[in-house]
Structure 1
Amino acid sequence: MPTLLRKPGLVAGAAVLVTAALAGPTVPTGAARAETPVTDYTMTVETSGAGPEIADTMYGIFYEDINFAADGGLYAELVRNRSFEFGPVDNPSYTPMTAWTTAATGGASGSAEVVNDAGRLHENNRNYLRLDVDADRRGSAYGLTNSGYNTGIAVERGERYDFSVWARTDAGETPLVITLHDDSGSLTSRPLRRIVRGDGWARYTGTLTATRTSATGRLTVSAQGTGTVSLDMVSLFPRDTFKGRKNGLRKDLAEKIAALEPGFLRFPGGCLVNTGSHEAYEAPDWERRRSYQWKDTIGPVHERPANANFWGYNQTLGLGYYEYFLFAEDIGATPVPVVPALVTGCGENRATDDPELLRRHIQDTLDLIEFANGPVTSEWGAVRAEMGHPEPFGLTHLAVGNEENLPDEFFERFERFRAAIEAEYPDITVISNSGPDDTGAVFDRAWELNRQAGVDMVDEHYYNDPAWFLENNDRYDSYDRQGPAVFVGEYASRGNRFRNALAEAAYMTGLERNADIVRMASYAPLLANVDHVQWEPDLIWFDNDSSWGSANYEVQKLFMTNVGDRVVPSTASSTPQVSGPIGGAVGLSTWRTAVAYDDVRVTTPEGEVLLSDDFAGDAGQWSPLTGSGSWAVEDGAYVQRDVNAENTMVTAGSADWSDYDLEVTATKRDGSEGFLVAFGVKDTGNYYWWNLGGWNNTQSAVEKASSGAKNVLVADDTTIEPGRAYDLRVEVRGRQVTLFLDGKEWGSFTDDAVAEPFRQVVTRDERRGELVVKVVNAQDAAARTRIDLGDVRVRPTARMTMLSGDPDAVNTATSRPIRPRTSVLHGVDATFTHTFPPHSVTVLRIATQGR
């Protein structure tokens, strides 16, 4: 997507000289400098003080198979639907022949049928392809072509690609011809030929070497002669996988992850862990989705059952627990698997009460620990050794559950898991969680239970707008130091613009400052295929032949590769704040719901009428804000009729309004949610709304939209009944808002949190003898900062790495405006002044005496 990049550079007021070590942006002229506003700050570093130690696991990565992150992503397999297991249970548009088409040459004919019978390759591998072939003329062949992912199969000139297929024939011998090609012709110097012999399944392999680079390749597997040949597990892997591992990982993606130097790898989710059925596969149950269970994902790949992914596609499980453990080992990260607690989340919200099923999952978890750490003489340690890794993987942390909305039901089951694990493996840290949000009834109850039980660590998840991250830097300052440690397992500011990354960077200074309580933190999600996105923002984006880190990735990398060993206490002055009342127009909206609104009144506290509309005539006082929906005056009410439209907001009044009462009567006619009554409306991306009956009519909340991203300010479990008229009242007084439902107070909030754009944290790198100073300046003004390091002696130069740019800049496949610039900073002393550019993240590595 196109972005306007404002070139960063030195700013007026800098008292030190920067010598570029790498090519960087042009320094603005004096005239340009004068146009940049400057705010003065002071920063004091207590270099003789000692803050908390920083765990090696402070920052890590969270991997979930979402956005095609595994098949078509990190898992290097190039053939899509290699085992013909796709179906409507995965996605309504899927069939067993998804990504395949038949192909005939030289006048050949035949038929292709996917079958599911006792002749299958393996009990877990249900489907296979049966080809009836009539191709006995010279040069003729009949088979099928695979389209791969995205635009096709990507190959690079000179690289080798390993082909394999399981096959059998009733013709005694059947020649197979394997070609790799695109619309311009062959991508190899010659086809690969193999002879299938006999009616027993056997694996046939070979290697193709690309003679051209292409992102639109196709793989065709054709048979010659006559008769019936059966095929399964049609595979094409690049020889050059990450670390050269068989059944391995796509190199460019794995290398970008490894470059983060993560301290841990949390896997495999996420919502796919605790959604779907928790039952084992039984014959009648093969066509339904079930939760991710680790024993399905190990052993030979042709013996692993495919599963319907929670995110609406098929997962082959070729990337399984063994491969996750290997990947963690290869990148030096602590593995942190997540197992289901038999309480579903992510909108399903039900608990399994079958005691035998619970017992089995607890035993499966104990078996998982044995698989990771057990000796080769143990049952599951022997399985690991047989797969090629006799040495233990060194598992130390394990999470039970993910974002459960039923805290009591979850915790009852969690305690059973924890007791069993601690009895057999007392050195394993068992991680609990606090639900899907940063606050609210579920969060409070979950934390109460975790504290009472003395849980070691609690996993918190939250996705909020950038302002929230700027406002909540001190979130963990007041956490109980005697209670559980915190694992921030999923967080993001709902956007991949640089302004989002800046807000996250500012927040990370608070995580690091509280390293005694926040032991682990990971951005989420990690990966996104540009053509298959279920969730965004994401850290790393890719298509079939390229990948790139988002602006958020660059921030994470900068922090993760400059952590330090211990926090050094530091303080900084704050930014002057100008805060007025909540002001703006009023609005009415809907979300996949038909609603009738009537009797709208806006009055001042003194009773002056600013707006009154009973819709006896037209709706001339209202203007569409989003351009969606079907609004009309019907029977004296203003009705939005489209039950499929999302955010249909219409507005009335002035952006200058403040201190007013908004009253409206609302009736739900049809659809899945309730009412959206807006106030403080500035524009399409900045407003507040009272969302009654939201989230498929499961809860209600006031949400604040800031630059298009929303954050919940207050919430409860109110739901909306169709056909009933509700009287709604919103009282806005300064920055205090009180809401009334049918005359009773529903809730209130004061939106007075300070979004501080200037944040810092200082740590010490003991091995290098350096102070690591991280400074975030997330504002339009430059930050001219007097830095006082006390009486420490330092070298006069420091290494400086900086990210800066337009706050709306977005990294793409063809443009990377947000990237690190490395320089040498001169003039460093015990006290010195440096000006941090607008919209920047800066790391200074300052060597202390003797270095």
Structure 2
Amino acid sequence: MSRTARTRPRTRTRTRLGTGLSATALLTAAALLPAPAHAEDVTDYTITVDPRAEGAAIGDTMYGVFFEDINRAADGGLYAELVQNRSFEYSTADNGSYTPLTSWTAGGTAEVRDDSGRLNERNRTYLALGAGSSVTNAGYTTGVRVEQGKRYDFSVWARAENGSTLTVTLEDAAGTLANTRRVAVKGGWARYEAAFTATRTSNRGRLAVASSGTAALDMVSLFPRDTYKGQPNGLRKDLAEKIAALKPGFVRFPGGCLVNTGSMEDYSEESGWQRERAYQWKDTVGPVEERATNANFWGYNQSYGLGYYEYFRFAEDVGAMPLPVVPALVTGCGQNRATDDEELLERHIRDTLDLIEFANGPADSTWGRVRAEMGHRRPFGLTHLGVGNEENLPREFYARFERFRAAIEAEHPDITVVSNSGPDDTGTTFDTLWQLNRDGDVDMVDEHYYNSPRWFLQNNDRYDSYDRGGPKVFLGEYASQGNAWKNGLAEAAFMTGLERNADIVELASYAPLLADEDHVQWSPDMIWFNNHASWGSANYEVQKLFMTNTGDRVVPSRASGTPDVSGPISGAVGLSTWATSAAYDDVRVTAADGAPLLSDDFSGDASQWTHRGAGSWSVRDGQYVQTDETAENTLVTAGDPAWKNYDLHVRATKRSGKEGFLVAFGVKDTGNHYWWNLGGWNNTRSAVEQAVDGGKSTLLSRAGSIETGRAYDIDVKVRGRQVTLYLDGQEWGGFTDDKPAEPFRQVVTEDDRTGDLIVKVVNAQPAEARTTVDLGGARTASTARVTTLAADADAVNTETDTPVTPVTSTLRGVSGGFTYTFPENSVTFLRIERR
């Protein structure tokens, strides 16, 4: 866009300290302001660097990665095994659509058995094949991927008392993909191996095993020979390499909601291995054929082939600090249970101490010996360990956390034990846990939040006011609810604030890390893949740029900002449900002066309402009723999007379902509104959320539930940008949404190794930003190495198209200071050698 064509102002009305302590206009409003005369002579922004001032030190582990087995991230993803359900352990108890032969096709006589002939106590089921029978495995997603000329290693545990020959084939619909292999089996259970070299490339391969005689099979496996760093039981190379390219300072594992959900029990004499039990690290180490499989919180099975040993090994391979997280015996992620079983709690505490010994103990210790026998005599060097994840029962969690911490510190005082602050960036659970953590002198607190891009642009200063004498922050999960470039821009702007506050935020990781495009439980994600390709999202490119150009200390700087021209909250009103059936009545909207704007008692029809979401709405017995309790976001709206300064009254009743009901205000459309979510998150808490372009942020949150069959009177008072909420006549809470979304952010750091000043600038707006940069008298080289990410705000990286890709260039004439025009919708890093 040419400068003469631009219509937004070139002058700035305020200066921000650091990367920005005051803020910004609504981005869409900027185009309404006229340009001053002689605009070409006036810069849009200024950045002033103070190289003599002392900024926060940035640790080598500042940025890392968070791995959770969600979106098929482990089996069928990072774990290189190509056979799905290799040990025939899938069960309807785990997933209603599963059977022990899921992903298998049997020909002839094939029977899955669970009896005394099993391979071992933990791997209980196996396949009995009759003479002349066969089974074929379809792998994950579209099939088994093989590449011409590449080597693949087959293995199987088999038993054939009278002898049998197994004929093993790789094939697809067009024919064979490699030369057939034959394996002679005789006697009791033993492991047999064969190797293939693919003669063709296919994404839809199948592994077939046929038996000439009666035989039993278990742990049928096919691995690419070319795993990451050639490790046995290894990782898919392209995915591991993309993670390694980030140069992460730490690897957090194994979750996430995966950690603290499911049954807290495991084995009992009466029922054997419990399905859906909580993740327990001891299930995941030792020989893979002896690891107990488990149901995954995210709806599928996990083989534990990728277990704690492999996580530690991967962290070591990429040069990162391992950061495991163990369950605190308080479930989270909507389950909200806490154990009162003292014996069980003590066992889990002992298991955690054993984990530290597994990681750090000598090779002749009990658990150090297990590690050594797996191939790693030298300790892994564990220094940090998390206890718990997103618990919604703050006091119950913290009481148990204290037990874990006391036991760990008594035996391992050098281990940093990490607590957490629940699932949100604000609210009663967050406040309670932070107070408990401060009072308990906790070393580090894990924060999680997923919010809209606007929230990230508004909250660059989040950590400016944190107590410098309190616990440090581990920002273990964050993302801006989308994989478009506008999401990456907002996250980049926020990350400048993380770096400025590196004395508080010591660790940070975007989440989730991986997603199979055919199995998505959560989006957005950093790296996407299918069975033959992988690609980094726009968010990945932002993380990579920051993670590989962090620097060792912050160089204090300040920048001018963008004028705020935001107006009052305006919009129509709405009603909605989420996995619930609810009824609404007596809807009234009145202006601040008492003038009626809307009144509906549903004694007639619902003609004033527009159905914008899912669900089934109808007028019944003088109420507006949504009857589909499986539907989500069933929004209906009424009124004028230009309404402002009004009072909304609604009477709402939950009829059935998992949650409560939602009352919306300030509604522009389905992706832009506020709503009061009463009884959300499986009816465990209520919150006010703001949706901007479909991404939601929590503005206010409190624990609590909604009763079925009870009518609630709900009132919302909107005045300017102030909102007050009343439940049954009592004030429930309120907020003022007056924080601007500043699109221009920056931070400057210095790299001790190279001596470079790294000027990092985010311009998250659809217009260039001509900027004067004053280096504060620092002696520097006359050139700068420039790396730029720039694209259309809605651009998305895909397998075949990556519009968000770094571009490098050289800028001359930078000594002492310079003027630079930062492209619209861009992240720019300038590395300037300091002399």
What is the match of residue 203 of structure 1?
Answer: 191
Residues 1:129 and 2:120 aligned together: no
Q: Which amino acid aligns with 1:427?
A: D
Deviation digits for residues 367-426 of structure 1, max 9, x if unmatched?
Answer: 111111111121211221111111111111111111111121111111121112112111
What is the match of residue 212 of structure 1?
Answer: 200
Q: Which amino acid aligns with 1:215?
A: N
The secondary structure found in structure 2 opposite 1:201 is strand
Deviation digits for residues 330-349 of structure 1, max 9, x if unmatched?
Answer: 00000011111111111111
Residues 1:393 and 2:380 aligned together: yes
Structure 1: which 5+ runs fail to align?
A: 1-5, 14-33, 104-109, 136-141
What is the match of residue 100 of structure 1?
Answer: 104
For the Cα contact (< 8 Å) 1:39–1:781, is it kept in 2?
no
1:699 to 685, 692, 711: 685
Deviation digits for residues 470-492 of structure 1, max 9, x if unmatched?
Answer: 11111111111111111001111
2:352 to 365, 379, 388: 365
What is the match of residue 589 of structure 1?
Answer: 576
For the Cα contact (< 8 Å) 2:429–2:702, is it kept in 1?
no
Corresponding residue pairs, total: 805
What is the match of residue 92 of structure 2?
Answer: 88
Residues 1:504 and 2:491 aligned together: yes
Alpha-carbon distance change, 426 to 723 in structure 1, aligned in 2, over 3 angstroms: closer
Residues 1:471 and 2:458 aligned together: yes
What is the match of residue 17 of structure 1?
Answer: none
TM-score between the two structures when normalised by the length of structure 2 = 0.94
Q: Which amino acid aligns with 1:358?
A: L
Residue 7 of structure 1, CA deviation: 14
Measured in 2, the distance between the counterparts of 1:613 and 1:361 equals 56
For the Cα contact (< 8 Å) 1:678–1:688, is it kept in 2?
yes
Deviation digits for residues 218-264 of structure 1, max 9, x if unmatched?
Answer: 0000012x4x2000000000000000011000000000000000000
Measured in 2, the distance between the counterparts of 1:592 and 1:276 equals 21
What is the match of residue 117 of structure 2?
Answer: 119
What CA RMSD, in Å, does the superposition of the two structures yield over aligned residues? Answer: 2.1
> Matched residues, percent identical?
69
Residue 39 of structure 1, CA deviation: 7.1
For the Cα contact (< 8 Å) 2:324–2:386, is it kept in 1?
yes
Residues 1:598 and 2:585 aligned together: yes
Measured in 2, the distance between the counterparts of 1:723 and 1:489 equals 39
Q: Which amino acid aligns with 1:414?
A: F
For the Cα contact (< 8 Å) 1:62–1:490, is it kept in 2?
yes
TM-score between the two structures when normalised by the length of structure 1 = 0.92
What is the match of residue 3 of structure 1?
Answer: none
2:177 to 187, 204, 210: 187
The secondary structure found in structure 2 opposite 1:795 is strand
Residues 1:810 and 2:799 aligned together: no
What is the match of residue 566 of structure 1?
Answer: 553
Deviation digits for residues 795-846 of structure 1, max 9, x if unmatched?
Answer: 1111111111011111111111111111111221212110111111111100
Residues 1:715 and 2:673 aligned together: no
Measured in 2, the distance between the counterparts of 1:386 and 1:614 equals 73
Residues 1:44 and 2:48 aligned together: yes
The secondary structure found in structure 2 opposite 1:791 is coil
Q: Which amino acid aligns with 1:425?
A: H
What is the match of residue 752 of structure 1?
Answer: 738
Measured in 2, the distance between the counterparts of 1:127 and 1:669 equals 44
Alpha-carbon distance change, 119 to 39 in structure 1, aligned in 2, over 3 angstroms: farther
Residue 716 of structure 1, CA deviation: 2.1
What is the match of residue 428 of structure 1?
Answer: 415
The secondary structure found in structure 1 opposite 2:687 is strand
Q: Which amino acid aligns with 2:458?
A: E
Measured in 2, the distance between the counterparts of 1:672 and 1:386 equals 48
Residue 512 of structure 1, CA deviation: 0.6
What is the match of residue 446 of structure 1?
Answer: 433
Measured in 2, the distance between the counterparts of 1:735 and 1:425 equals 51
Alpha-carbon distance change, 37 to 437 in structure 1, aligned in 2, over 3 angstroms: farther
Q: How does 1:812-851 map to 2 (within 5 A)?
A: 812-849=798-835
More displaced 10-residue stretch of structure 1: 649-658 or 56-65: 649-658
Deviation digits for residues 184-216 of structure 1, max 9, x if unmatched?
Answer: 11101x201111112x11111010000111100
More displaced 10-residue stretch of structure 1: 739-748 or 669-678: 669-678
Residues 1:174 and 2:161 aligned together: no
Residue 170 of structure 1, CA deviation: 2.9
Residue 781 of structure 1, CA deviation: 1.8
Residues 1:768 and 2:757 aligned together: no
For the Cα contact (< 8 Å) 2:429–2:703, is it kept in 1?
no
Residue 89 of structure 1, CA deviation: 2.4
Q: Which amino acid aligns with 2:238?
A: D
Measured in 2, the distance between the counterparts of 1:423 and 1:719 equals 40
Q: Which amino acid aligns with 2:100?
A: P
What is the match of residue 12 of structure 2?
Answer: none
Deviation digits for residues 575-603 of structure 1, max 9, x if unmatched?
Answer: 11211000011112222322222222211
Deviation digits for residues 661-682 of structure 1, max 9, x if unmatched?
Answer: 1122223333332222111111
Measured in 2, the distance between the counterparts of 1:355 and 1:39 equals 66
Measured in 2, the distance between the counterparts of 1:153 and 1:7 equals 51
Measured in 2, the distance between the counterparts of 1:7 and 1:494 equals 32
Measured in 2, the distance between the counterparts of 1:38 and 1:337 equals 52
What is the match of residue 337 of structure 2?
Answer: 350
The secondary structure found in structure 1 opposite 2:106 is strand
Residue 637 of structure 1, CA deviation: 2.5
Q: Which amino acid aligns with 1:416?
A: R
What is the match of residue 557 of structure 1?
Answer: 544
Deviation digits for residues 14-54 of structure 1, max 9, x if unmatched?
Answer: xxxxxxxxxxxxxxxxxxxx999997000011112221111
For the Cα contact (< 8 Å) 2:722–2:737, is it kept in 1?
yes
The secondary structure found in structure 2 opposite 1:420 is helix
2:482 to 471, 492, 495: 495
The secondary structure found in structure 1 opposite 2:267 is coil
Residues 1:75 and 2:66 aligned together: no
Residues 1:664 and 2:664 aligned together: no
Measured in 1, the distance between the counterparts of 2:682 and 2:404 equals 32
For the Cα contact (< 8 Å) 1:37–1:780, is it kept in 2?
no
Structure 2: which 5+ runs fail to align?
A: 9-37
Measured in 1, the distance between the counterparts of 2:826 and 2:518 equals 31
Deviation digits for residues 288-327 of structure 1, max 9, x if unmatched?
Answer: 2111111111111111111111111111111111111110
Residue 11 of structure 1, CA deviation: 10
What is the match of residue 21 of structure 1?
Answer: none
Measured in 2, the distance between the counterparts of 1:417 and 1:588 equals 45
Measured in 2, the distance between the counterparts of 1:174 and 1:445 equals 64
Alpha-carbon distance change, 67 to 621 in structure 1, aligned in 2, over 3 angstroms: same
Measured in 1, the distance between the counterparts of 2:482 and 2:252 equals 22
Measured in 1, the distance between the counterparts of 2:165 and 2:810 equals 64
More displaced 10-residue stretch of structure 1: 441-450 or 663-672: 663-672
Q: Which amino acid aligns with 1:44?
A: T
Q: Which amino acid aligns with 1:814?
A: T
Q: How does 1:569-648 map to 2 (within 5 A)?
A: 569-626=556-613, 628-648=614-634
Residues 1:250 and 2:225 aligned together: no
Q: Which amino acid aligns with 2:228?
A: F
Residue 752 of structure 1, CA deviation: 0.6
Residue 436 of structure 1, CA deviation: 1.1
Q: How does 1:187-336 map to 2 (within 5 A)?
A: 187-188=177-178, 190-198=179-187, 200-224=188-212, 226=213, 228-283=214-269, 284-336=271-323
Q: Which amino acid aligns with 2:505?
A: V
What is the match of residue 538 of structure 1?
Answer: 525
For the Cα contact (< 8 Å) 1:676–1:689, is it kept in 2?
yes
The secondary structure found in structure 1 opposite 2:109 is strand
Deviation digits for residues 706-746 of structure 1, max 9, x if unmatched?
Answer: 11011111122343233333222211110011112222212
For the Cα contact (< 8 Å) 2:159–2:190, is it kept in 1?
yes
Q: Which amino acid aligns with 1:158?
A: G
For the Cα contact (< 8 Å) 1:36–1:781, is it kept in 2?
no
Measured in 2, the distance between the counterparts of 1:194 and 1:536 equals 44
